[in-house]
């Protein structure tokens, strides 16, 4: 059965800290991995990763995919209170199936 | 620019009552449309997706149905709600099949009493 596992499930850090969120997957005919940020309502798209070893960056956020070890990480440097959210990881396969992880709830203390 | 609207934002319904949640997309044509349910601690579960008018695929057997009467309108329905239908329902659209990132609406929080 295809699955996506995120860790940790919950994380509390202080403002200014750097965090690393993990996503591992076991998906048949894997195509791409996506990261979303969900604050109060709608998840917003962060990254789509298709190639292994190529880092994608957006401001203080970056992500990379390892297709050999079947995982991805999302890094957030110099965290701010506005980074508090649920971070969702999802895997797409070549049959157009999408599987979401349960998310990591990140809370940044001021 | 494209926008997605979902309503209502919150809904409280008794067991056995019918349901209709609506989702519309503006600023694009022939989008792919999706309904998800997000239960606490269980991530996002894909319920239905549609690649065109009256073309609906169901991902999981359930008490719900979906319809797409117009190109940019996607409706989630039930004839009789169950307690287990409670959750946060999200509509999403994309411009291709799943190979493109999906963009989500603000969601409907459904509570069944």
**Predicted confidence (pLDDT) per residue in A1-51, tens digit:** 889 999 999 999 999 999 999 999 999 999 999 999 999 888 999 999 999
Q: Are strands A61-66 and A56-58 parallel, antiparallel or unpaired?
A: antiparallel
What does the alpha-carbon distance between residue B33 and residue A32 come to, in Å, rounded to a whole number? 19
pLDDT-derived band at B58 (thresholds 50, 70, 90) equals: confident
Which of the residues A42, A103, A105 would you substitute to probe the B interface, choosing the one with the greatest number of B C-beta atoms within 10 Å? Answer: A42
Residue of A nearest to B44 (CA): A100
Question: Which residues, other chains included, contact A64 with Cβ-Cβ below 8 Å and sequence gap of 6+?
Answer: A49, A53, A54, A55, A56, A72, A73
Q: Provide, rounded to the nearest whole percent, the portion of chain B with pLDDT above 70.
A: 95
Can you tell me the distance from the alpha carbon of A110 to that of A88, in angstroms, rounded to the nearest whole number? 23
Residue A18 to residues A11, A76, A86, B59, B67, Cα–Cα distance (Å): 12, 6, 16, 38, 44
Q: What is the mean pLDDT of chain B?
A: 90
Q: Say if the Cβ atoms of A42 and B46 lie within 8 Å.
A: no
Q: Record the tokens describing residue B34, joined without a space.
A: 């999706």
Task: Note whether A96 contacts B103, CB cutoff 8 Å.
Answer: no
Confidence of residue B98 (pLDDT cuts 50, 70, 90): low
Q: pLDDT higher for B99 or B26?
A: B26
| CB B98, CB B46: distance < 8 Å | no
Contacts of A41 in chain B (CB under 8 A): 106-107
Beta bridge partners of A55: none
B102 touches chain A (CB under 8 A): yes
The verdict on a CB contact (< 8 Å) between B99 and A92 is yes
CB pairs < 8 Å spanning A and B: 43
Task: Note whether A102 contacts B104, CB cutoff 8 Å.
Answer: no
């Amino acid at each position: 059965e295809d699955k996506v596992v995120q860790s940790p499930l919950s994380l509390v850090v202080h403002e200014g800290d750097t965090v690393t969120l993990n996503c591992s997957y076991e998906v048949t005919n894997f195509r791409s991995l996506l990261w979303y940020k969900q604050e109060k309502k709608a998840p917003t798209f962060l990254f789509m990763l298709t190639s292994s070893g190529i880092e994608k960056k957006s401001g203080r956020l970056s992500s990379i995919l390892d297709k050999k070890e079947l995982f991805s990480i999302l890094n957030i440097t110099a965290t701010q209170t506005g980074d508090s959210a649920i971070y969702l990881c999802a895997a797409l396969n070549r049959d157009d199936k999408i599987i979401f992880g349960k998310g990591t709830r990140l809370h940044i203390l001021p | 620019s494209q926008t997605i609207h979902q309503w209502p934002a919150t809904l409280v319904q008794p067991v056995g009552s019918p349901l209709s949640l609506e989702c519309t997309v503006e600023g694009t044509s022939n989008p792919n449309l999706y309904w998800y349910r997000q239960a606490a601690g269980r991530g996002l579960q894909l319920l239905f997706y549609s690649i065109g008018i009256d073309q609906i695929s169901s991902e999981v057997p359930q008490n719900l149905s979906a319809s797409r009467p117009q190109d940019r309108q996607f409706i989630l329905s039930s004839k009789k709600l169950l307690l287990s239908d409670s959750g946060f329902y999200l509509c999403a659209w994309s411009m291709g099949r799943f190979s493109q990132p999906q963009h989500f609406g603000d969601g409907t929080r459904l509570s069944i009493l």
